[in-house]
Amino acid sequence: MTNDIAGIKKADVILIIGSDTSAAHPVIAARIKQAVREGNSKLIVIDPKRIVMADYAEIYAAHRPGTDVAVMNCMMHEILKNGWEDKEYVESRLEGFEEFKTEIMNDKYSPENIAKISGIKADTLRAIAKLFGQAKTASLFYAMGITQHTTGRDNVWTTANLQMICGNLGVEGGGVNPLRGQSNVQGACDMGGLPNVYPGYQNVTLPAIQEKFEKAWNCKLDNKVGITITEMIDGAYDGSVKAIYVMGENPFLSDPDQTHVIKAFERVDFMVVQDMFITETAEFADVILPAAAYAEKDGHFTNTERRVQRINKIIEPPKGVKNDWEIIQLIANAMGSDWNYQTVRDITQEINALTPSYAGITWERVGRTGLQWPCPNTEHPGTPYLHKEKFARGKGLLSAKAFQEPDELPDEEYPLILTTGRVLQQFHTGTMSRKTQGLNNLAGPMVMISVEDAERLGISNSEVVSISTRRGEITAPAFVTKRISTGVIYIPFHYKESPANRLTNPAIDPIAKIPEYKVCAAKIRKIS
Amino acid sequence: MKFYRSHILIGIDDASLAAGVKEIEAILRSELQKNNLSEEINILETGTLGLFGTGVSLMVYPEQTAYVNLQKSDIAEIVEEHFLKGRPVHRLILDNTLVRKYDFNYKRRIVLNNSGVIDPENIDEYLGTGGYEAWEKALTSMQPEAVLQEVKASGLRGRGGAGFPAGLKWSFTAPIKAEQKYVVVNADEGEPGTFKDRLIMEGDPHKLLEGVMLCAYAIGASEGYIYIRGEYKLCISRLEKAIEQARDYGILGKNIFGSGFDLDIFIKIGAGAYVCGEETALIESMEGNRGTPRSKPPFPGVAGAWQMPTVVNNVETLANVPAIITNGAAWFAEHGVEGCTGTKVYTIMGDVRLPGLCEVDMGTTLRTIIQQYAGGMKEGKAFKAALVGGAAGVFLNDQRLDVKMDYNSLKEYAAVLGSGAILVMSHSADMVDMLWSVLRFFRHESCGKCIPCAKGTQLLYKLIDGIRKGKGKESDLDEMIRISNGMLKSSFCALGQSPCMPINSAITNFREDFLARIK
Amino acid sequence: MIVYLNGKAYEASPGETVLQVALRNHLYIPHLCFHEKTGKAAKCRACVVEVEGMPGLKTSCNQPVTEGMKVTTNSKQVLDAQRLVVDLALSSGRHDCLACEQNGNCELQDAAYYLGITKPSFQLYDDNYEIDDSSEFIVVDRSKCISCGRCIVGCNHTVVNEVLNYGNRGYETKIVFDTDLPMGSSTCVQCGECVQLCPVGCIIDKRTIGAGRTWELDKVETVCPYCGVGCKLEVHIDRTQDKIIRITGVEDSPTNNGMLCVKGRYGFDFVNSEERLTSPMIKENGKFREASWEEAIALVASKFTSIKDEFGSDSIVGLASAKVTNEENFAFQKFIRKEVGTNNVDHCARL
C-alpha cells in the first residue's frame, strides 16, 4: 500500500476493484466499512462477484473478469472529458500526459463502447467516473483480482494512472493500495525474495549494488536476473532445474495447472522442503526439514502498509524443530561457508546495514507499534504514505495501457469463465487454517454458480458437480447464488480435495510472470 | 352569510368514533331533513366537547344543552321534541345540576378556545376565529428576535412536564448558525391518563401548526416535525389535512407571504413508547433508531435531530404561542400566577362526576378543579387521594386539596404538575393496587438502556407485587423508597428517576393501606 | 489543567473525562459499559460521582474535566448509588463466579469487590436461561449479560458486521443476532469482537471453556500469521503445556485496533497440531524415514554442492516464503545468492 490503514477514513471515495476485502482482508474491510458507516467515505465496488463489500457501496458494478483495464480507462476517459482530473498535480508532478491523453480519449474507451466489453452499463460507468473523479481524495484498493492476469502488470499500471491523474498519490487518505495476501509477503519481497533484486529492491544488475553486497558478504555474486517461480516449475519440467529448495511454501496447491506441477516435481533431481508439516509439496521432497511456527520464534513481519512489526516467541517449538534461519545457516556452513549468526538480532542488524529503506528499523526501535518503511535512519519516524512530495523516480510517469483480452476466453466447449479466490474462513493452501476443525465446519470446498446458469444446467444447491477446463477436472458442491454474475463461476483454491489450481491457466503476464488465476474457460456438468 | 336558528356541535374524537358517532350523525341529518329543519338547524363536526365517558355527545347552541351517551334510537326523539317542539329531552341531557355547576370556562381558554366550537377539518373556520393572524403578523412585521422575546416575556413554560421556560429553550438554538434547524413537536403523549394533546390536535390542529410556524421563525428552522403516537389516528388525519390546507393557502411552503421565509411541516408516526416522550429518545425514534435517550450534553438545542440544532416542544406549549403573539406577552401573563403564567389543560379522571378535559388558569387549586370543573366527587364517594402528574406524579391526600396547581407551588410538596393528569380516587381505591399498577407501567415502559431503570423497575414491581399478594414485609416499604431514591440519582433519564415520586408519596401518605396488606 | 479527585490534585488535559483521569492515576471508579473503543455510553451508571457545583450525581465516563473541577468518588452518597447499580446488575441473572470463564477478568466482579458486595441482594428473574452454543467458536450465556452494549457498538460501529442488536426492551432487553436467530444461524462471521469487548462472562470463546484461568495464562504479543494486514495479537499461553489457549486483538495497535477475523482469533490449532513434523525426514525408495539433523543437513549440503558443481549454480532454485520472518527470508536469499551463486530465488507473492 502506498498509504496507511489509519488513513482509510480520510478518503472521500474508496474504490475496491479486484479484492473480496471482507473475505481476504477482513480487518481492512472493517476499516472501510467504518469509514462508510460514519459517513466519511463513499464506496465504489467493481467485482464480478457481488462481494459483501458491495452491500456497503454507493455504486456496485459487476464487470466481466479480465476487463479491468477497459473499465479504468473508461473512467479516465470520462474524467478527462469532464475536466475532473487534478490539473495542477498533472502539471507539476507527472509526465507523459499529452501522449497518455491522446490514447485515453480514443472513442474506444467511451462508456458506450466499454459497456459492450465489460458488461457494465454505460450510465453506471459514467456514475462511477463522476463519483470518483469529483472526489477531493479517493483511494483505490485492489488485491489479486487486479494482478493475477496475463495483463496483471497493465492492470497495476492503470490503477496508478487513474490515481495519478486524479492527484490521489502522495496524499493522506489516497493511494494505490494493493492488499497483500500473506502475513509476510511484503517482507519476503522487501528482503530480496525475488530474482531481480537484493533486499530493499536494490537491482542485482547494478554494479554498485553488486559490489556493496559482495563486500558485505565477502563473496562473488551473480549480476544476472534469476528465474521466477513459474519459470522454475517449467525449468524442473524441462530438466534445466535440477534442485529445488522450498522454504515454507506449498506450490503444489498454489501454482496453476497442477498436473504440470506434479510432473515437474517428479522430474527434479533433488528437492528439499522446509516446513511445519508434510505438505502436499513436501510429499515430493527428498529431504524434509522441520521448521518452527510463527509462535515459536522472534523476528519481524512487514504488513501490507509497509509496517515492520515484531513477532515474539510465545512458546517453545516442539523438540527436534529448528528455526528456518538456523537450518539455512547449518546448510550454508555444511557447504563450507562461515555463517555465524548467534541470534536472530544479528540478522536484523545486517538488514539495517544493507537495506537503506530498513536502515532505521532496528530491533530496539520497532517497539509495540512497529515502523513503516522507508525509514532511512534511526531518527526517522517512518513513512505512513509514499510519494508525498515527489515520486521515487522524480516525476510520475503516465503510460496508457491498451485493453487486452485474457489468454483464454469461453467458447462453445468451455462456455463459462472460471475465477478463483479465497473465502473468509480459510487461508491460502489451508496448511494452517485447515488444522482448525471449526473453520472447516464453516467453509468447505464449493463452486459458486449463478442462479441462471444453475437453472439452465439443472444444478441444485449443494449438489456435487464436475468442473473441468483444458487442464483438468475436479468435483465440488455447487453454491447457487445471486451474488455471482451469469456466465461466471468461482472456486476458492484452499482445498486439496477440490483443487482449483488443477483447472487454472498457467499463462503468465510476460513481464510480471504472474499466472492468470482470475480468468479461464471452464464447463460444469452434473455428475449423476 | 346564512343564519341558522340552532347549531348542533357534534364532538368527533376517538372515543365518540368508537361509540358510533358517524352513524348517529347520519341519522340526525336524515331526521332533520325529514322534518324540513335542514335550513334552520346547522350541524357542525367539531373536536372534543371536553367531556369524557359520555359516548356520543351533542352540544346545542345557543342554549348550550349537552346531550350525552346518545343511542341511534334517541335521535328521532331529540329532533321531534327539542328542535320541532322546543322541549329538551331531559333524560338525555347531562345532569341538570351538573350543567349549572359545570363551567366550560370558554372565556379563559387559550389553547382549547376553538375546540368543540369550530370544524377542525376546515381551515376557513380557523381563519374565521383569527387563526394565522399571529403568523402573518410575525412574518410581515416582526423580526424573529422579536417573536422570541415576546415568548420569553410571556413566561410560557413547557407543558410537557418539566416546565422549562419555552423562550429560554428557543434562545439556545436561535443564535446557532447551521445548515438546517428543526422544530419537533412532542405529540407522543404517553403519560397514563393524559389525553389533552390528542384533544388539542383533534379539536384545533391549525393552532398547533401555527405554533410550530412561529417557533420555526423565531429560531430559524425551515422544517418542522410532529412526532405523534401511531394510535392517534384521527389526530394524524386531521393534521395531515391541516398541513395540506396550509400548503394550499400558501401559509406553508416557499417564500411564505412574500417574506422569503420557507417552512414545511411533516408528520412522523411513533410506535407508542412512554420513553419516546423524553426528547432525545423521541429524536432517536424519529431518526429510525431504537427509542432510547441520548447522553446530554449535547442538548437537542445544539445537536438534536440528525445532529442539527432542534427545539422540541410539547403540543400544548406550542398551541399557546399564537395567542401570545397576537395578544402580547402582557395579556398572556394576566392568566395564571407569578412565575407560572397562562392556563393549563388538565385531564381529570377517576371518581368524579365529569371526567374529561378542562383548561384553567395556572395556580387554580386542586379543590376548585375537582369541585368546579369536574363536577365534584361522584355520588356517595368521598375524596381519598389524587394522583397528580401521571404515573410520574405524586399521590396527594386530602391535606393537599388546596394546593395551587402550578409548577412552583407543587414543588413545595415535592409534587409535580407533569402533563396535567389528575386521577381522583375515593375510599374504594386501594393505594397498594394503585402503586402496583403504576410500577407495572414503569417496568413495562423502561427502555432498558441503563441498569438502574431496567433492573430497578423490575425489582420495584417484584416488591409491590409481593406486598399485593400478601407476601411482603414492612421493610419492603423502606427498601422501595431506598431503591427508587437510588434510581433517582443514577438513572439515565427521567423515566428511571420518576418511580420515587409515586412511591414516596403513596407510602408516606397512605402507609396504612400498605400495612393492611402486610401481615 | 488541574482537577481534584477526592481532594488530591491531578494533571489532566482538555477533552479527557473524569473516569479517564481517575483510571490513569490508578484511582478506581466502578464502570461496566465504558470502553475506550465503544465510547462513553454512560449506560451502566456504575461510574457516578459527585462534582462540586453540579446538581445530583454525574457519570464520570462522559463528564469532561474542567480546570479546577472538584470530584468526589468515595462519599456515602456516591458509593450507595454505585452499590445499587452493581447490586441490581448482580441480582439479574446467574453471576456464578465459581463456574465462570471470566472469573478474575470480569469487570462486574471487580466492581462488586470494590464496593464490598458479597452476594446479590435480590433475585430479579426466574432462573430459566438458555445458553446459545450454536456457533462454532462463541458461546452466549445471556444470564450473565448486563446489557452494557459494548458488543453491539463493536459489532455495528467497529467491525461493522451489523449482526448484533438489542431485542425487546426494559427488564426484558437482551442482545439478539439478526432477527433473534441462534448465533450459529445468523449472519455472524465470528470475528469475536463481541467476545473481546464483553466485560463479563456472557459472550465467551467456546473452546477455552475450562482450558485455564486467566491468571494462569501468560500473555505475549505477536503478529497474526494469516493475511497481510498484520493484525497484532495477544496470545494467551498455558506455560505448563506450552499451549495456545486463546488469542485476542491488541487494542492499541494502529493496524487492527483490537479487531481480528475468525482465522486470526480462532485458527491457531496448527501450532499445537499433532501433525507437526518434529524430525528431519529423508526419502528412501519412495518412503520417508526419520533422520538426524546431522544426517539430513549433510545430505542436503552434499547434494547442493554436487549439483552446483555438475550443472552450474543456475540449476538450483529456491523458494522463499511469505509466511516466515524478514530475517529468515534475508538469510534464505543470501544463501541462494551467496552459497549457491544464483539469483534464482522467488516466492509466492504472485500466487
Instruction: Return the percent helix, strand and coil in chain A, to nearest 5.
Output: 35, 20, 45
Helices C326-334 & A324-334, crossing angle to 10 degrees?
Answer: 20
Residue C111 to residue C78: CA distance in whole angstroms: 13
Question: What's the first-to-final CA gap in chain C, in angstroms?
Answer: 56
* CATH 3.40.50.11540 at B123-333, yes or no: yes
Class of residue C99 by CB neighbours under 10 A (exposed 0-12, middle 13-18, buried 19+): exposed
Q: DSSP 3-state assignment of A238?
A: helix
Q: Which residues pair with B340 in a beta bridge?
A: B337
At a CB cut-off of 8 Å and minimum separation 6, what does C254 contact? A4, A5, A6, A307, A369, A370
CB contact under 8 A, B451 and C43: yes
Which of A486-495, B354-363, B471-480, C277-286 has the least mean pLDDT?
Answer: B354-363
| pLDDT (0 to 100) of residue B101 | 45
What is the strand order of the sheet C8-11 is part of?
A: C8-11, C2-5, C70-72, C48-51, C58-59
Residue B191 to residue A89: CA distance in whole angstroms: 63
Nearest CB neighbour to B462, from listed C56, C124, C173 = C124
Q: Which residue has the cell 460521582?
A: C49
What value does the mean pLDDT take over residues B14-42?
86
Nearest CB neighbour to C84, from listed B273, B446, B483 = B483
At a CB cut-off of 8 Å and minimum separation 6, what does B474 contact? B515, B518
Q: Would you say residue C69 has pLDDT above 80?
A: yes
Share of chain C above pLDDT 70, in %: 99
Residue A474 to residue A366: CA distance in whole angstroms: 46
| Residue A122 C-alpha, separation from nearest chain C C-alpha, in angstroms | 32
| pLDDT (0 to 100) of residue B254 | 94
Residue C169 to residue C151: CA distance in whole angstroms: 17
CB contact under 8 A, B448 and C171: yes
Chains contacting B (3 or more CB pairs within 8 Å): C
CB contact under 8 A, B443 and C166: no
| pLDDT (0 to 100) of residue B206 | 96
| Residue C59 C-alpha, separation from nearest chain A C-alpha, in angstroms | 26
* CATH 3.40.50.740 at A185-372, yes or no: yes
What is A416-526's CATH number? 2.40.40.20
Q: String of b and e for B265-302 (b: at least 16 CB within 10 Å)?
A: bebbbbeebbbbbbbbbbbbbbeeebbbbbbbeebbbb
| pLDDT (0 to 100) of residue B100 | 43
| Residue C134 C-alpha, separation from nearest chain A C-alpha, in angstroms | 12
Phi-psi region of B414 (alpha: psi -120 to 50; beta: other; left: phi over 0): left
At a CB cut-off of 8 Å and minimum separation 6, what does B113 contact? B106, B129, B204
| pLDDT (0 to 100) of residue C332 | 95
Q: Would you say residue B360 has pLDDT above 80?
A: yes
Nearest residue on chain C to A426, judged by CA atoms? Answer: C263
| pLDDT (0 to 100) of residue A372 | 94
Q: Where are the domains of chain A?
A: 6-179, 185-372, 416-526
Residue A127 to residue A120: CA distance in whole angstroms: 11
Shared fold status for A185-372 and A416-526: no
Which pLDDT tens digit goes with each residue over B119-144?
Answer: 889 999 999 999 999 999 999 999 99
| Residue C279 C-alpha, separation from nearest chain A C-alpha, in angstroms | 5
Q: How confident is the model at residue C181 (pLDDT cuts 50, 70, 90)?
A: very high
Residue A154 to residue A239: CA distance in whole angstroms: 32
Average pLDDT, chain C: 92
Q: Would you say residue B374 has pLDDT above 90?
A: no
Q: Would you say residue B199 has pLDDT above 60?
A: yes
Q: Would you say residue B99 has pLDDT above 60?
A: no
CA dihedral for A513, A516, A517, A523, sign (positive or negative): negative
Q: Which residue has the cell 348517529?
A: B24
Write down the H helix ranges in B163-314: 166-173, 196-203, 205-219, 233-248, 279-286
Decide: B and C in contact? Rule: 3+ Cβ pairs under 8 Å: yes
Residue C181 to residue A401: CA distance in whole angstroms: 50
Q: Which of B481, B482, B473, B483 is nearest to B505 (CA)?
A: B481
Q: Which of B37, B38, B96, B41 is nearest to B65 (CA)?
A: B96
> Is the Cβ–Cβ distance between B392 and B487 less than 8 Å?
no
CB contact under 8 A, B454 and C84: no
Nearest residue on chain A to C281, judged by CA atoms? Answer: A288
Which pLDDT tens digit goes with each residue over C3-56?
Answer: 999 999 999 999 999 999 999 999 999 999 999 898 888 999 999 999 999 988
Which pLDDT tens digit goes with each residue over B225-248?
Answer: 999 998 888 899 999 999 999 999
Q: Would you say residue C349 has pLDDT above 70?
A: no
Q: Which of B198, B185, B165, B160 is nearest to B390 (CA)?
A: B160
Q: Would you say residue C271 has pLDDT above 60?
A: yes
Residue among B278, B439, B489, B495 with most chain C CBs within 10 A, to mutate: B489
Residue A253 to residue A501: CA distance in whole angstroms: 6
Nearest CB neighbour to C81, from listed B448, B458, B486 = B486
Chains contacting A (3 or more CB pairs within 8 Å): C
| pLDDT (0 to 100) of residue B39 | 85
CB contact under 8 A, C321 and A5: no
| pLDDT (0 to 100) of residue B12 | 82
Q: Which CATH number, 1.20.200.10, 3.40.50.620, 3.40.30.10, 1.20.1440.230, labels domain B431-517?
A: 1.20.1440.230
Query: Which parts of chain A have pLDDT scores under 70?
Result: none
| Residue C247 C-alpha, separation from nearest chain A C-alpha, in angstroms | 12
What is A6-179's CATH number? 3.40.228.10
Nearest CB neighbour to C230, from listed A148, A183, A328 = A183
φ/ψ of A317, rounded to 5, equals -65, 160
What is the grid cell recorded at A67?
A: 476487463
CB contact under 8 A, B448 and C168: yes
Residue B277 to residue B185: CA distance in whole angstroms: 10
| Residue B179 C-alpha, separation from nearest chain C C-alpha, in angstroms | 26
- Give the other-Cβ count within 10 Å of C145's Cβ: 21
CB contact under 8 A, C91 and B455: yes
Q: Would you say residue B2 has pLDDT above 70?
A: no
Average pLDDT, chain B: 89
Secondary-structure class of domain B6-94 per CATH: alpha beta
Record the pTM.
0.88
| pLDDT (0 to 100) of residue B98 | 54
| pLDDT (0 to 100) of residue B81 | 86
Q: Which residue has the cell 386530602?
A: B398
Residue among C275, C328, C345, C348 with most chain A CBs within 10 A, to mutate: C328
What is the grid cell recorded at B16?
A: 365518540
Residue C60 to residue C44: CA distance in whole angstroms: 11
Residue among B450, B461, B481, B488 with most chain C CBs within 10 A, to mutate: B450
Q: DSSP 3-state assignment of B242?
A: helix
Q: How confident is the model at residue B64 (pLDDT cuts 50, 70, 90)?
A: confident
Q: Which of A28, A433, A68 is nearest to A253 (CA)?
A: A433
- Give the other-Cβ count within 10 Å of C239's Cβ: 12
| pLDDT (0 to 100) of residue B96 | 54
CA dihedral for B238, B243, B244, B248, sign (positive or negative): positive
What is B337-426's CATH number? 3.10.20.600
What domains does chain C contain, in order, with CATH numbers?
A: 2-99 (3.10.20.740), 120-266 (3.30.70.20), 292-350 (no CATH)
Q: Where are the domains of chain B?
A: 6-94, 123-333, 337-426, 431-517
Q: Would you say residue B438 has pLDDT above 50?
A: yes
| pLDDT (0 to 100) of residue C175 | 93
Q: Would you say residue C234 has pLDDT above 90?
A: yes
CB contact under 8 A, B459 and C40: no
Helices B315-327 & B196-203, crossing angle to 10 degrees?
Answer: 50
ipTM of predicted assembly, 2 dp = 0.89
Which residues in A lie closer than 8 A to residue C304 (C-beta atoms)? 243, 245, 270, 331, 335
Residue A410 to residue A418: CA distance in whole angstroms: 9
Nearest CB neighbour to A435, from listed C244, C269, C332 = C269
Residue A448 to residue B271: CA distance in whole angstroms: 42
| pLDDT (0 to 100) of residue B95 | 66
| Residue A424 C-alpha, separation from nearest chain C C-alpha, in angstroms | 8
| pLDDT (0 to 100) of residue B104 | 56
C125 close contact with B: CB closer than 8 A: yes
